Chains A and B, each alone.
Chain A
């Protein structure tokens, strides 16, 4: 049975590095998601996440309520991300550069759409970006996001819907999204 954060924190504070490893692996992707929502760069986000865990490791014994570990990590991550942003003083780069020529029209269009959507995400508010990254990058459930951000699952759903509407509006404005079209098959499992 997976141990709770509380047990892992206690064990780690008593010198059990493997317990800290479990915490690290458990929370890593969501902390990278938080960092990326602020830094807009995958590599910088991973640097910020690793520094977050370094700080957390040093300060772990000061954490009075281990049940709030995810929220605590998030606060540390945001501070580090903001500090990195201030010190870098540069515009957020795209993770992907658009293709240079039109040799393959289909590939270019897909990559172009992708780049525009990434740009649209950077224009969301900070809180909307966090939710978008937690849901679509780190694949967190509504309840996990709610616990991390101190919201109800219903509030998370509402904010996510608003963020998606904003993204859809921006994409339509730039003429790159056609609502209702989908190339993915929705296969219903369970038929037997």
Chain B
């Protein structure tokens, strides 16, 4: 029997096995006071010292070999310098870098391929100004995108037909105030990574640190390589995917002649490089003013976001996140949500599928980030506040967020039980100003 439709439906198995057990930690703790007593820094230290002594005594030769290898490795190892790498990223007040995208073009008759590249130049100024100058495969400047991520404003200039648009989809959809490479710090600090070797750059050498992204459709291409300069310990490049799956220098068709016409194009990979932190970046580069002579083209406006849309999103996020609302108004900052949305649709469980469906529904309506969109388009400026971290789904005593709808005086709040109520600002948990 190979047909999935002949198998027992999921619902029947869910019903037979019943609902998952609900943890009651307070009760467990009351019943196991002796166990909890072991959570003690003194106990931990004694245990670890004992373990270290045991390793030294019984593996003296191996330990010595390891120490020798580590000593010679440490000189070029970036692991001792992650603190410096992370610090440089976190403290950067500006940055410039380039991005080169590689695509494989197929001829009209499908018999030949060649590599096509396009380039972009990024500029960044703290706390949230971004600019991307995009060049096509002929080296022609085709588009300029400027974004003020803090104030959720952006503008795109089309350099070929001399037009511009306001409020187009942003460069930094998941902006969270950590700068353009804050997510790299997250990976270096908290995820499983490995040192895979060295890379020669045009002006030095870099250690290559690899991270494997979970749940990618093609596991062969799930790597991200971070290049960290061995001398300065700074992040200088990122290859997506990593060198195990993509190396622009060795692409077999990299020198094939390009043709005017092609039947299809496929993405090979991209490289962010020439990263310079605290570069000299002129604030005038981020002016949200179109060049002289450019004509305004109205961008399609995303669909209105209702309170019901927001409640639906909060509900499904909380259900996926162990019946707890997301930590912040950017739900994808919460690891459980981030992982769920990056799991392949076929691999998602029931709740993750529902989350993905709700997200996709809003994405198609032009609302990629529902809370940000609701805040910027439907509430009085500065009135929206999210306080959902730690609030349990169903808790009618805790507020998840509050706001004033545009052109109204009254505050409204969404509670943990997803009810929406008018509230007096004096009853809000934090002062509104």
Contacts and interface: CB of A to CB of B under 8 A. Distances in A.
14 contacts: A2-B335, A2-B336, A17-B36, A25-B25, A33-B20, A42-B21, A57-B38, A60-B38, A114-B15, A118-B16, A136-B14, A143-B215, A179-B7, A184-B9
A50 B192 CA distance: 29
A164 B8 contact: yes
Contact of B190 (A4, A46, A55, A61): A4
A126 interface: no
B11 interface: yes
- DSSP class of A's interface residues: helix, strand, loop or mixed? helix
A167 B8 contact: yes
Contact of B343 (A45, A143, A161): A143
B35 interface: yes
Contact of A189 (B8, B36, B327, B357): B357
A109 interface: no
Contact of A17 (B39, B340, B349, B357): B39
Contact of B44 (A17, A32, A61, A192): A61
B333 A136 contact: no
Interface residues of A, number: 71
Contacts of A91: none
Contacts of B303: 192
Interface string B321-337: 11000011000011110
A21 B25 contact: yes
Contacts of B1: 165, 168-169
B31 interface: yes
Interface string B7-43: 1111111111110111101001101101110111101
A17 B21 contact: no
Interface string A132-163: 11011111111100000000110001000100
Interface in A52-84: 53-55, 57-62, 64, 67
Interface string A19-57: 011001110110011000000001001100110011101
Contacts of B32: 50, 53-54, 57
Given A61-B38, A138-B20, A139-B351, 15 more contacts: A1-B333, A1-B334, A2-B321, A7-B190, A13-B44, A53-B28, A57-B38, A114-B16, A133-B17, A137-B17, A141-B349, A152-B219, A161-B4, A168-B7, A177-B8
A80 to B, nearest CB: 13
A171 B9 CA distance: 12
B335 A4 contact: yes
Contacts of A133: 17
Interface of A: 1-2, 4, 6-7, 12-17, 20-21, 24-26, 28-29, 32-33, 42, 45-46, 49-50, 53-55, 57-62, 64, 67, 95, 113-114, 117-118, 121, 132-133, 135-143, 152-153, 157, 161, 164-165, 167-169, 171, 177, 179-180, 182, 184, 189-190, 192
Contacts of A164: 7-8, 13
Contact of B21 (A49, A64, A140, A169): A49
A118 B13 CA distance: 9
B43 A61 contact: yes
B360 interface: yes
Contacts of B11: 182, 184
Contacts of B44: 13-14, 60-61
A179 B360 CA distance: 32
Contacts of B40: 15
Contacts of A26: 322
Interface in B188-202: 190-192
Interface in B298-336: 303, 321-322, 327-328, 333-336
Contacts of B192: 67
Contacts of B31: 50
Contacts of A54: 32, 35
A42 B347 CA distance: 27
Nearest to A26: B322
B53 interface: no
B378 interface: no
A182 B335 contact: no
A58 B35 contact: yes
B148 interface: no
A120 to B, nearest CB: 9
B17 A16 contact: no
B23 A24 contact: yes
